[in-house]
Amino acid sequence: MTTIEPWTSAEWLAAATGWLDEQLAAAGRTRTGPVTQPHVRLWATALRAPTDAGPVWLKAPGSETAFEVPLYGLLAQAAPRWVLVPLAADVERGWLLLPDGGTPLGEQVCADDLPGALAEAIPHYAELQRDLSGNVAELLSFGLADMRPPALPERLDQALEAVGAYLGHHATDDDREVLRRAAAARPLVEDWCDRLASGAVPASLDHHDLHAWNVLVTPGGTPRFYDWGDSVVAHPFTSMLVTLGFLRLQHHRPDDDPGVRRVRDAYLEAFGDLGSRDELVAELDLACRAGKVARVLVWLRGLRPQGFENAEPFQRAPVQALAAILAESPFDLGA
């Protein structure tokens, strides 16, 4: 049985719908139509329900990402303006009831305008990270993986072993070469991590999947960052691996593109008291390079329980992320 099957069973759907209705009643809201299930993934599912006060969503993360439920509680306390504040949460069951946040930023603006829109939104995410830098112990207690620089060399060892096991007899000669080259790069990764650990930027929450489709923007222009299921505790700058990597990959913008630099610089403004611009840019590049180790393990977290055969369309994502560690660009995602 895969983790998808319980989420699509009649018994699970009935229980989730019953809980949703109970929480709506407690909040003084009424469901006005049928519950639908628009998203079922290997790692989570989401139900949607119309109500008399707008749509709501029930999110159920899998066991590997159940930390998202208590994490939303902390985010609602520390940064309520920049996240969706849950209407209800059940930590034991791993269920969240969230208000609808509107349309993702990636659907609101054209490709040419996307860097400018991200540059407006991303400083608020940086503000959220700075606000949470004192909550690292609490974040780790929720079950978020420790991907801080001192831990990453050992995490690389774990990634190499896990990717090899995940690929199994499906590994190609090219895959085995990727594993060999990544293993040989351990001293380089150690150097990156030593340099990051000696810097002035404290560890914090890393969303680790912060692209334009995980940023909601209200008609008034307030951004809200959501879908925290890939989160880890890390050097905060590793967040920009996906943000800038998506601009590079999806919109074919090189690293020195003015739009890419605009988003990067807007993000770094929130950390301007911790170093010069050149120092922060260099640290961000290092953090994104080292953060690719975490990306391998985040992919495996969702895919490994299913096995290689059941992981379409993401079968090769972990080995591609591993190969990206040695890519020329710090923002190369390996896809």
pLDDT at residue 144, as a whole number? 98
Q: Which residues, at least 6 apart from 187, have a Cβ–Cβ distance to it below 8 Å? A: none
Structure tokens that stand for 280 in this block: 């922060």
One-letter amino acid at 262 equals: R
Domains of the chain: 4-99 (3.30.200), 105-324 (3.90.1200.10)
Rounded to whole angstroms, the Cα distance separating 295 from 159 reads 10
β pairing state of 232-234 and 145-147: parallel
pLDDT at residue 2, as a whole number? 43
All residue ranges of the chain with pLDDT < 70 are 1-5
Rounded to whole angstroms, the Cα distance separating 122 from 136 reads 21
pLDDT at residue 41, as a whole number? 86
pTM of the model: 0.94
pLDDT at residue 113, as a whole number? 95
Q: Which residues, at least 6 apart from 263, have a Cβ–Cβ distance to it below 8 Å? A: 115, 118, 119, 122, 240, 243, 244, 247
Give the relative orientation of helices 277-303 and 258-268 as an angle to the nearest 10 degrees: 100
34 cis-preceded (ω within 30 degrees of 0): no
Q: In terms of Cα–Cα distance, which of 297, 135, 290 is closest to 199?
A: 290
Strands (E), 139-267: 145-147, 204-206, 215-217, 223-225, 232-234
pLDDT at residue 5, as a whole number? 62
Structure tokens that stand for 226 in this block: 């959501």
Kindly list the strands in the beta sheet with 88-90, ordered across the sheet, starting from the edge strand earlier in the chain. Answer: 36-40, 44-49, 56-61, 95-99, 88-90
pLDDT at residue 220, as a whole number? 78
Give the relative orientation of helices 114-132 and 240-250 as an angle to the nearest 10 degrees: 170
Q: In terms of Cα–Cα distance, which of 96, 164, 115 is closest to 308?
A: 164
Distances (CA, A) of 272 to 200, 201, 209, 234, 280: 11, 10, 24, 19, 8
Radius of gyration of the chain (CA): 20
Distances (CA, A) of 94 to 16, 100, 264: 11, 19, 34
